[in-house]
Amino acid sequence: MASREIEALANALARLPGLGPRSARRAVLHLMKKRENALQPLLAALQTVSEKLSTCSTCGNVDTSDPCSICADPRRDETMLCVVEEVSDLWALDRSRLFPGRYHVLGGRLSALEGVRPEDLTIDRLVARVSNGGTDEVVLAMNATLEGQTTAHYVAERLEKFPVRLSQLAHGLPVGGELDYLDEGTLAQALRARRPVA
Amino acid sequence: MASREIEALANALARLPGLGPRSARRAVLHLMKKRENALQPLLAALQTVSEKLSTCSTCGNVDTSDPCSICADPRRDETMLCVVEEVSDLWALDRSRLFPGRYHVLGGRLSALEGVRPEDLTIDRLVARVSNGGTDEVVLAMNATLEGQTTAHYVAERLEKFPVRLSQLAHGLPVGGELDYLDEGTLAQALRARRPVA
């Protein structure tokens, strides 16, 4: 249909999550039609990110600077640390703008099945961060999956000996959740963690 | 959340058709995680296309060479010419691999409402191509819209005086179309153009 170069671009775009072969072709056409307003800005943005991309040596976030923009932000509460599995979890939490502290990205979750052991994650680095002092509270924000909770349990054990408060995200009904559609596990958690009506 | 550079990349991706702000962020994370396998190939492909992108001076297709890969292909039947409104129409038709000839992209459709006049399209260039001889058939493949059909009518009038066969795409039921769900216009066209059962 089109030249090899255009096919290559369509293929590269089609590998992005959320774009299939058909929408990738539409995107290519869009880019070629709007050369100044779409192709050039995307190219420039990709180039900048590609040049500057780095993993924060403190928290494990990916950003265009090291330390990352969160670790470098003086308005962030240094005494609070939120531990997450992946960078995508950090982004999701930070979009809510509700956590004023800093983060620690483990880089995955413990999994016997996938052969992920504690030394494959950045747990040692987390322990070192906490042992340096200055941290009052560590929020364990792993996924509410078996592996996420196993990881949280393991991290909690490793941090027990330090004078920090350990907490974890509440489990229960999601906003808008209808009892009829929720699984028994969620309902059990919500019932067990029920709170007195104020 | 992330640095200005990453936000810029997310914004550039979010402007692609088929990607919203949420999926653009997912795409950015994917690109940053798979630096070698996703970010670099996409960057290289965009760069190549950006450098080589050109509009075919013969048919109006966008490609990485001029003449475009279709006009330059000696296996294409030079005696057949298919006239389309936009480059995306050319691509859609050519994906079907059913048309063995070459194309002519008008660059739009006549529209009193949007102020698009014949001189805003490449109709003069089409007439010149046909008047040069060598063309046996011109297929008018405009959209089955009021403006598309007006454009087809106008182009047909301009080509009347040349010794070429003029044809247009058949109108009728789309494959998989259920009568119950089709509009009256389509049904009327299908009925009017009914063919004897062989």
On whether both B137 and B92 belong to a single domain, the answer is yes
Q: What rounded mean pLDDT belongs to chain A?
A: 90
Is the link from the previous residue into A41 a cis peptide, with omega within 30 of 0? no
Output the domain CATH number for residue B34.
1.10.8.420
Q: Do residue A63 and residue B9 have CB atoms under 8 angstroms apart?
A: no
* Domain region containing A163: 78-168
Beta-sheet pairing, A62-63 with A54-55: antiparallel
Strand partners, B84: B105
Considering only the beta carbons, identify the residue of A17, A29, A39 that sits closest to B27.
Answer: A17
Q: Which DSSP category does A142 fall into? A: -
For residue B127, the one-letter residue type is V
Q: Under an 8 A CB cutoff, do B27 and A8 touch? A: no
Q: In angstroms, what separates the C-alpha of A26 from chain B's closest C-alpha?
A: 7
* A57 at interface of B, judged by CB pairs closer than 8 A: no
Query: Are B156 and B82 part of one and the same domain?
Result: yes
Cα first-last separation, chain B: 67
Domain CATH code at residue A143: 3.40.1360.10
Instruction: Clarify whether residues B39 and B82 are in a common domain.
Output: no
Q: Are residues B91 and B21 in the same domain?
A: no
**Is B172 inside any structural domain?**
no
State whether B88 and A63 contact (CB < 8 Å).
Answer: no
From chain B, pick out residues whose CB is under 8 angstroms from the CB of A65. 3
A chain contacts of residue B69, beta-carbon cutoff 8 Å = 2-3
Please answer whether residues B159 and B127 qualify as being in contact, where contact means their C-beta atoms are separated by less than 8 angstroms: yes
B120 located within any domain: yes
If one counts the domains in chain A, the total is 2
Separation of alpha carbons B89 and B175, rounded Å: 18
| Phi-psi sector, B51: left (phi>0), alpha (psi -120 to 50), beta | alpha
CB within 8 Å of chain A, chain B residues 89-118: 91, 94-95
B25 touching A (Cβ < 8 Å): yes
Tell me what ipTM this predicted complex has: 0.73
CB contact under 8 A, B6 and A39: no
Q: Flag whether A142 is in a domain.
A: yes
Q: End-to-end distance of chain A based on CA atoms, in angstroms? A: 67
Is residue A57 situated within a structural domain? no
- B161 with B113, same domain? yes
Position A197 pLDDT exceeds 80: no
Distance (Å, whole) CA B2 – CA A63: 7
- Continuous segment of H or E residues that includes residue A114: none
A19 and A96 fall within a common domain: no
Confidence at residue A115, expressed as pLDDT on a 0 to 100 scale: 94
Question: Could you tell me where the beta strands, DSSP code E, fall in chain A?
Answer: 54-55, 62-63, 77-84, 101-105, 137-140, 165-168
> Smallest Cα–Cα separation from B89: which of B170, B157, B144?
B144
**For residues B157 and B197, which has the higher predicted lDDT (pLDDT)?**
B157
CB-based contact (8 Å) between B71 and chain A? no
Contacts of B59 in chain A (CB under 8 A): none
Please indicate, yes or no, whether residues A106 and A140 belong to a single structural domain of this protein: yes
Instruction: Assess if residue A93 is contained within a domain.
Output: yes
Same domain, A87 and A161: yes
| Interface contact B69, partner A, CB < 8 A | yes
In this predicted structure, what is the pLDDT of residue B70?
93
Residue B47: count of CB within 10 angstroms of its CB: 15
For residue B17, pLDDT over 60 is answered with yes
pLDDT tens per residue, range B94-144: 888 888 999 999 999 999 999 999 999 999 999 999 999 999 999 999 998
> Is the C-alpha dihedral spanning A176, A180, A181, A183 positive or negative?
positive
Q: Which tokens in the block code for residue A141?
A: 């924000």
Task: Say whether B101 sits in a helix, a strand or coil.
Answer: strand
B90 and B158 share a domain? yes
Is B42 among the domain residues?
Answer: yes
pLDDT at B1: 54
Residues A98 and A19 in one domain: no
**Using alpha carbons only, how large is chain A's radius of gyration in Å?**
21
If asked whether residues A28 and A86 sit together in one domain, one would say: no
Query: Residue A100 in contact with residue A76, Cβ under 8 Å?
Result: yes
Has residue B131 been placed in a domain?
yes
**B150: contact with A, CB 8 A cutoff:** no
pLDDT tens for A84-136 read 999 989 988 888 888 899 999 999 999 999 999 999 999 999 999 999 999 99
Answer whether B43 touches A (CB < 8 Å): yes
Q: Is residue B43 part of a domain?
A: yes
